[in-house]
Structure 1
Amino acid sequence: MTNDKQAIHEVVLGYCRGVDRLDLDLVRSAYHPDALDHHSSFTGKINEFLVWVETELAKYRSTMHFVGNHLAKVDGDRAVSETYAMVVHVGHSPQDEANYTSGVRYIDYMERRDGRWAISERGAIRDWIRSEVNNLSLPPGHVAQGARGQDDRIFKALKLLEGHSSSALPLSAGLAGQGA
């Protein structure tokens, strides 16, 4: 059961990375193909959800999910998990109304199909919102910054790992030229 709970937690974490890096294939992989999502003002199937997510994320320069408490109750090939998260939304300027932090919970109905855990239905519950309008500073251009899509440093590091034959992975090689 511990391995099942870890696999379920990895699904949630993969979803968060997918949203934050605007990697819609990674977001899709967190769901079964017939999954349903109830998310803010959206309710629908996964393919419709991905279109909605891409449209919504265009409003933001970046998002960052901080995952906290995670509990999963497993019953055979079915599970319910509850994940607490804080999500930081960064607009395109410090004055942007899209700058806010939100406390959310994901209530996920998970199923293991063909040995793979994924979301069959998700409810995203927003517990609170804190506005960051005019209270947000963007990092200066000379420091390392994240990017949406395959240009983000995590993908460079993962590619290094895939192609590296020794057990010692030089992290700096994957981050070279990225600032400090």
Structure 2
Amino acid sequence: MPKTIDEVIAEAEIRDVHLRFCRANDRRDEELMRGCFHPGAVIELHEPMDVDAFIALGRVILSKYTVTWHNTGNQLVEVDGDAAWAEHYTISSHRIAADDSGPERDFVAYGRYIDRMERREGAWRIARRKMLVDFTRTDALLPDDQGLGSWGGTRDRGDPSYALRLRP
């Protein structure tokens, strides 16, 4: 059955929520992250948690990396009125500084986010999210590798992308 224009618009809005989620991770923007979820949302990573616990966990995990970079691939969205199911494929790169475990390296995770999305008061947000890691790898850096983020990006609202936005 053909999609209605309302379904196509809903799919685009749902995809945008996921892209904001990826941006929030990479810029460590907790306000933007919180805005991706409805109040009372449940996030299943290792165990179910609420948004506050997820953000607190992210604060700890993301601080271990010098740069993160989430890239979204396939996105499948199925809309049914004010509810939707979505699956987003993501490749996430995480730069690890040299430490006792080894030289500077990249940890790369290939995973999927499976969402129950809901439209409440006109806004699509995540009501429930299950995060799956399908496989990972760790890559050593070559001696002449300049690395991610070496051209001035930052992991906060000081990143040039905030200054150049059309809307605050």
Query: Within the alignment, does 1:91 sit opposite 2:96 as a pair?
Result: yes
Residue 13 of structure 1 is matched in structure 2 by 19
* Structure 2 unaligned blocks of 5 or more: 1-6
- Aligned residue for 2:34? 28
Larger helix proportion, structure 1 or 2? Answer: 1
- Paired residues, what number? 158
* 1:88 Cα offset (Å): 0.4
**Cα distance change of structure 1 residues 34 and 60 upon mapping to structure 2, 3 Å threshold:** same
Report the residue type matching 1:20 in the other structure: D
Q: Distance in 1 between matches of 2:64 and 2:17?
A: 25
Q: Secondary structure at the match of 1:130?
A: strand
Task: Give the ranges of 4+ consecutive aligned residues of structure 1 lying more than 4 Å apart after TM superposition.
Answer: none
Unaligned runs of 5+ in 1: 164-180
Q: Which amino acid aligns with 1:114?
A: E
Name the CA shift for 1:115/1:87 in 2 (closer, same or farther; >3 Å): same
Give 3-state SS (helix, strand or coil) of 1:150's partner: coil
Q: Residues 99-178 of structure 1 correspond to what in structure 2 (within 5 A)?
A: 99-134=106-141, 137-139=145-147, 144-158=151-165, 161-162=166-167
> What's the secondary structure of 1:145's corresponding residue?
coil
Deviation at 1:133, TM superposition (A): 3.6
**Per-residue CA distance 1:130-179 (angstroms, 9 max, x = gap):** 111455834399x5231011110110101xx248xxxxxxxxxxxxxxxx
Provide the aligned C-alpha RMSD in A: 2.1
Task: Tell me, yes or no, if the aligned pair for 1:65 and 1:85 is still in contact at 8 Å.
Answer: yes
- TM-score, normalised by the number of residues in structure 1: 0.81
**TM-score, normalising length: structure 2:** 0.87
Deviation at 1:75, TM superposition (A): 0.5
